[in-house]
């Protein structure tokens, strides 16, 4: 009984300098382990006019007796991350709050250990978004496979490809194709290969040269395959010239200079710019314009669209360019995914409308649904 009373007295005496209230330590959420977050709430810590300014953070394992200093933080910071913890080991933290006059308050946390998480819960909104996208796209691909016909509106830029290649044939001049600056990882370059395949089929049929100067070695190799396959498909593999699909340079303006030179020397009747373009877009398109070539451009680079619109005859804007793949191939699976894209656009439109209304009426919490951790 005496011992119990002694313990209670000592506990009460120590309370002002050693307490759990207002401070806590938790395993840092949504991380790959080895990290513990120490939290203090300045409002819950009775500062007794000490004017607390900084916090010294110390730790020890459950089995150790001595404290190890791991950092110092401003009092107003509220949190400190110990990213030198070992997973599975229990740590106790001691926080020494120091005031302007040098006096300190000491707080201690309960034992806590760090661990790695399997799932980042702050990204659940992204997961839901992806699941919705996948579901919608797969649903329309499935419907398309089952024979449902989807309408794709005529895209003037793609309709003009046939006419442009025909004009080159009439004039007996080559067609020049450029995929711009993108590498094979860019979706715009992948879309460009589909358009290239369709163009190559036409140049193979009409027996006119297709020149494809390139900015990326991998794209060159892929393009050679794509063009050869297209020539073989039309029954004219003998007309395929590997030398006309060649790698130039990785340099942006080195590429622009070389393509300009090719245009001025070989005078193509048709220029097709399909891919990712940067500042070189206007240099290419204006040179093409000066030699009187018919020019069609398609790009995902919004800033270059304005340059292409001024200097080219037809331009594929925004997702028109990505629709080219389905439009040219008429592949039901790709057409299905196009329809899915349209439905997703409706979903995005509704969310934008809801967001605008919510924020207008002060429900800013709606925005938090879309923040990513």
Site residues for another protein, 144-183, by CB under 8 A, read 181
Judge whether 307 and 283 are in contact, CB under 8 Å: no
Distances (CA, A) of 71 to 42, 85, 111, 254: 18, 13, 18, 52
Phi/psi at 301 (5° precision): -90, 100
Find the shortest distance in angstroms from Cβ 225 to another protein.
2
- Residue ranges in 28-57 that form contacts with another protein under rule CB under 8 A: 30-33
Compute the distance between CA of residue 30 and CA of residue 227 in angstroms, rounded to an integer: 47
Judge whether 287 and 170 are in contact, CB under 8 Å: no
- Residue ranges in 58-97 that form contacts with another protein under rule CB under 8 A: none
- DSSP tag of 33: S
User: What residues form DSSP beta bridges with 59?
Assistant: 68, 93
Compute the distance between CA of residue 151 and CA of residue 98 in angstroms, rounded to an integer: 71
| Strand arrangement, sheet containing 79-82 | 23-27, 36-40, 79-82
- Residue ranges in 272-301 that form contacts with another protein under rule CB under 8 A: 278-279, 282-283, 286, 290, 292, 300-301
- Interface with another protein includes 253 (CB under 8 A)? yes
Q: Quick one: which of 25, 45, 137, 272 contacts another protein (CB under 8 A)?
A: 137
- Interface with another protein includes 369 (CB under 8 A)? no
Q: Quick one: which of 265, 361, 362, 368 contacts another protein (CB under 8 A)?
A: 265
Terminal Cα-to-Cα distance of the chain (whole angstroms) = 53
Q: Quick one: which of 27, 58, 205, 229 contacts another protein (CB under 8 A)?
A: 229
Map residues 109-128 to x or -, x wherever contact with another protein holds by CB under 8 A. -------xxxxx--x--xx-
- Residue ranges in 304-323 that form contacts with another protein under rule CB under 8 A: 305, 307, 309-311, 317-319, 321-323
- Interface with another protein includes 185 (CB under 8 A)? yes
Nearer to another protein among residue 17 and residue 367 (C-beta): 367
Nearer to another protein among residue 89 and residue 127 (C-beta): 127
């Amino acid at each position: 009984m005496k011992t119990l009373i002694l313990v209670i007295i000592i506990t009460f005496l120590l309370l002002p300098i050693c307490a759990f209230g207002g401070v806590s330590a938790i395993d840092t959420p949504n991380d790959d382990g080895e990290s513990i977050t120490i939290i203090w709430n300045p409002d819950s810590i009775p500062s007794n006019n000490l004017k607390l300014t900084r916090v010294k953070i110390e730790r020890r394992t459950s089995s150790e007796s001595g404290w190890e200093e791991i950092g110092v933080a401003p009092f107003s910071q509220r949190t400190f991350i110990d990213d030198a913890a070992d997973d599975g080991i229990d740590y106790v933290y001691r926080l020494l709050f120091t005031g302007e006059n040098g006096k300190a308050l000491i707080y201690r946390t309960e034992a806590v250990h760090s661990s790695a998480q399997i799932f980042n819960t702050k990204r659940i909104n992204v997961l839901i978004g992806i699941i919705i996208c996948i579901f919608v796209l797969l649903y329309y691909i499935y419907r398309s496979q089952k024979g449902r016909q989807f309408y794709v509106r005529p895209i003037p830029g793609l309709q003009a490809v046939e006419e442009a290649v025909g004009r080159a044939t009439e004039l007996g001049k080559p067609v020049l194709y450029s995929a711009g600056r993108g590498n094979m990882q860019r979706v715009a370059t992948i879309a460009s290969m589909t358009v290239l395949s369709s163009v190559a089929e036409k140049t193979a049929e009409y027996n006119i040269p297709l020149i494809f100067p390139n900015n990326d070695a991998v794209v060159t190799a892929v393009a050679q395959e794509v063009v050869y396959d297209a020539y073989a498909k039309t029954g004219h593999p003998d007309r395929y010239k590997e030398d006309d699909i060649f790698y130039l340079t990785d340099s942006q303006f080195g590429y622009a200079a070389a393509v300009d030179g090719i245009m001025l020397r070989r005078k193509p009747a048709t220029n097709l710019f399909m891919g990712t373009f940067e500042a070189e877009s206007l240099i290419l398109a204006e040179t093409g314009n000066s030699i009187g070539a018919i020019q069609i451009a398609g790009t995902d680079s919004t800033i270059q669209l304005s340059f292409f619109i001024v200097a080219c005859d037809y331009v594929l804007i925004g997702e028109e360019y990505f629709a080219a793949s389905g439009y040219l191939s008429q592949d039901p699976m790709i057409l299905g995914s196009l329809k899915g894209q349209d439905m997703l656009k409706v979903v995005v439109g509704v969310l934008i409308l809801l967001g605008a209304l919510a924020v207008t009426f002060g429900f800013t919490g709606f925005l938090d649904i879309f923040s990513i951790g």
